[in-house]
Chains A and B, each alone.
Chain A
Amino acid sequence: GLSAAPSAYSTDAKPNTLEEITSYNNFYEFGWDKGDPAKYAGALTTDPWSVEIGGLVGRPGRYDLADVLKTAPLEERIYRFRCVEAWSMVIPWIGFPLAALLARVEPQPGAKYVALETLLRPEEMPGQRAGGIDWPYVEGLRLDEAMHPLTLLASGLYGEELPKQNGAPLRLVVPWKYGFKSIKSIVKITLTAEEPRTTWKALQPREYGFYANVNPEVDHPRWSQASERRIGAGLLAGREPTLMFNGYADEVAGLYAGLDLRKNY
């Protein structure tokens, strides 16, 4: 098991079961069905693993996973997780703030954004052999979002190493944004001056924006975001209201002062 200190950022909501968290995944590199990642991610080689960090940083380079994980002490962060498809879970991640890793590589003054990239390995990822998405999956954050203490690099779940279907060995978790921002199986981090390309915005710009902040007042063009279904809540649990910034408004609303969240969805 991994030893991780509890965190004041954890919610006291009851976490979903390990089975729920590991058998209901959107990880299209392994297929379109929510059960596909659990079925096919076993073939993924996660050791050796390294992360290439570059762009506008003082200490660019290829960092071995073990080295990356030594950046800061591991914490357990029990976060709400809200998918853009309007379902949600509560997940006990283990990781450390992305800010610590970024500080280590010394962002240059011109750096405004952080671009992240998932592994491209079609021989181990059947979904990458099918069309539909321009692989590899890419995501990004504004630098201040990336430096926010809630933004986590996760390497574990429920006290153990991260299961492959959940984005092993290293994934991002941005709890106030829709789940697709929380890019899995990261191999590359690049600091940039311009807003980086992100997979879903490139695919459907009308439906998915760069920010993707959880917002009950701004609907997806095809469905309401006002409420969500908690996975595991039972057949007759109905829906619960979605909270602004997924309940993290106190911590993150300040990042978006003056920004029109309807335009910048």
Chain B
Amino acid sequence: MIGAVNGALRRVPVWAVYLAGLLPLCWIIWLTLAGGIGVDPVKAIEHRLGKVALWFLIGGLAVTPLRRIAGLNLIRFRRALGLTAFLYVCLHALAWIWFDMGLLWAQAAADLVKRPYLLFGMVALALIVPLALTSNTASVRRLGPAWRRLHWLTYPAVALGVVHYLWQMKVISTEGWLWAAALAGLLVLRLPGLARLRLV
């Protein structure tokens, strides 16, 4: 069964994943142009972009455990998932500084210090910049074992992103707890004792 799925996945070109990753962006742009984004497009766009970034961040983090535990092989698509996540994190930050803060850099910087959740989000962004820059094949070859160590930064980056998301809520919603649980599960699976856990 899983073999058939993996076989089918091998025939999916990677560019199709990149293309699919742009669909949420197209949807947001469509809603904005069609007037369906709500009375506060600024917050709606900002929040939607952040949420899509979370999907891809968590999705990228799930690739290795899915292979280990379920035998599902998505490794070919991991770079596409990571770079798509990076795109949405950047757009989310851009929506904040441009639409929300109106490019008032000094006020934005002051708010950053006042609101730890903003700082968490910014640190998460800062952590994934080197990951995006070294995601190309040449960097993987050149960095060798250091590449794996560098890309371990994914874990703190995604964790900070999820905390950033939870912290901006006045009261953490059910959906918020589900994201927290997903993150906790994925982190627990990387613990040394559990890293070898297999279902198949």
Spell out A's residues near B (CB within 8 Å): 19-20, 23-24, 32, 34-35, 87, 132, 219-224, 226-227, 229, 231-232, 234-239
Q: Quick one: closest B residue to A131, CB to CB?
A: B171
The answer, yes or no, to whether B76 is at the interface (CB within 8 Å) is no
B110 lies within 8 A of A224 (CB): yes
Min CB distance A240 to B, Å, is 9
**In the complex, which of the residues A32, A35, A224 has the most CB atoms of chain B within 10 Å of its own CB atom?**
A224
- Establish whether residues B45 and A235, one from each chain, have CB atoms under 8 Å apart when the complex forms: yes
Q: Does the CB pair A227–B38 fall under 8 Å?
A: no
Interface positions of B from 28 to 49, Cβ below 8 Å from A: 32, 38-42, 45
Contact check, A132 vs B171: say whether CB atoms are below 8 A apart: yes
> When the two chains form their complex, are residues B39 and A227 in contact, meaning their CB atoms are under 8 A apart?
no
Binds A, one of B96-104, B133-141, B145-153: B96-104
Nearest-CB residue, chain A, relative to B116: A222
Contacts of B102 in A (CB 8 A): 227, 229, 237-239
Main secondary structure of the interface of A (DSSP, over half): loop
B107→A227 contact, CB < 8 A:
yes
How far in angstroms is the closest Cβ of chain A from B181? 20
Knowing A24-B40, A232-B39, A235-B42, say if A32 contacts B111 (CB, 8 Å). no
Interface centre among A19, A229, A232 (most CB of B within 10 A): A229
Q: Are A235 and B107 in contact (CB under 8 A)?
A: no
- Whose C-beta in chain A lies nearest to the C-beta of B45? A235
A258 to B171, CA, bound (A): 38
**Also in contact, A34 and B99, with CB within 8 A (given A222-B114, A222-B115, A235-B45):** no
Contact (Cβ within 8 A) A231 B107: no
Chain B contributes a number of interface residues (CB within 8 A of A) equal to 23
A/B interface sample: 12 pairs, CB < 8 A? A23-B38, A24-B40, A34-B40, A219-B110, A220-B114, A224-B107, A224-B110, A227-B102, A227-B107, A235-B41, A235-B45, A239-B101
- The list of the 10 closest CB pairs from A to B, nearest first, reads A238-B102, A239-B102, A20-B39, A24-B39, A222-B115, A224-B107, A222-B114, A223-B111, A132-B171, A235-B41
B39–A32 contact, CB under 8 A? no
In the assembled complex, the Cα of A227 lies from the Cα of B40 at a distance in Å of: 17
Quote the shortest CB–CB distance from A232 to chain B (angstroms).
7
Which of B39, B42, B107, B110 has its CB near the most chain A CB atoms (within 10 A)?
B39
The answer to whether A238 touches B115 (Cβ under 8 A) is: no
Contact with A along B11-42 (1 / 0, CB 8 A): 00000000000000000000010000011111
Query: Given contacts A32-B171, A229-B102, could you give 9 more A-B pairs where the C-beta distance is less than 8 Å?
Result: A23-B39, A24-B38, A32-B170, A32-B173, A34-B40, A226-B107, A232-B39, A238-B104, A239-B101
B114→A224 contact, CB < 8 A: yes
Closest A residue to B37 using CB positions: A235
The answer to whether B115 touches A223, judged by C-beta atoms less than 8 angstroms apart, is yes
In the complex, the answer to whether B170 meets A227 with C-beta atoms within 8 Å is no
Q: How far is the CB of B180 from chain A (nearest CB, A)?
A: 17
In the complex, what residue of chain B is closest to A89 when comparing beta carbons? B39
By a CB distance below 8 angstroms, the chain A residues around B103 are 238
Which residues of the other chain, A, contact B32 by a CB distance below 8 angstroms?
Answer: 235
> Judging by beta carbons under 8 Å apart, are B38 and A223 in contact?
no
Q: Separation in Å of the B36 CB from the closest CB of chain A?
A: 13
Which residues from A are CB-within-8-Å of B115? Answer: 222-223
Minimum CB–CB distance for A133 against chain B, Å: 9
Whether B114 contacts A221 by the Cβ 8 Å rule is yes
Measured in the bound complex, the distance between the Cα atoms of B102 and A87 in whole Å is: 13
